[in-house]
Amino acid sequence: MVIFASEDIGNADPFALTLAVSVFNAVQIIGMPECKLNLAHGVTYLASCAKSNASYTAINEAFADVKSDNSLVVPLHLRNAPTNYMKKEGYGEGYNYPHNFENHFVKANYFPVNFKPKVYYKPTQFGKEKVFYERLKFFWKDEKKY
């Protein structure tokens, strides 16, 4: 159920993962036969949820890109700079903290240098994920296809 909640329901109902983990914990604590009620609760909820595999697809595509090119590195502006040496090397320079901007959003490139940015996460219009879809479309307008 825990995998099902992330792989097949995903952000269409983000609470599904919380519920699945709670069912898992309840089964461990209570045991059979009484935990069948918890299992029924979880199964019926998860079976009834809106479904989306957009997160699952996104992570698989991203992992495939990383595996295919081991020269990809985190851009300097995204690197933490806990030491003076790292600061001198440019770590963290030019980073825009999203919470300091309107709507807590910054149009920026977070991809490795020499890597053509692409959209991995393509939210569906089902369940809660529709809110994410609308939010991303609003921020990126016609710059990215969702």
> What's the full length of the chain, in residues?
146
Which of 43-52, 71-80, 112-121 is most confident? 43-52
**Buried b or exposed e, range 114-140, using 16+ CB within 10 angstroms:** eeeeeeebbbbebbbbbebbeebeeee
Instruction: Give the model confidence (pLDDT) of 53-99 as tens digits.
Output: 999 999 999 999 999 988 889 999 999 999 999 999 999 999 999 99
Q: pTM here?
A: 0.84
**DSSP of 84-131, one letter per residue?**
HHHHHTTTTTT---GGGSGGG------SPTT----------SSTTHHH
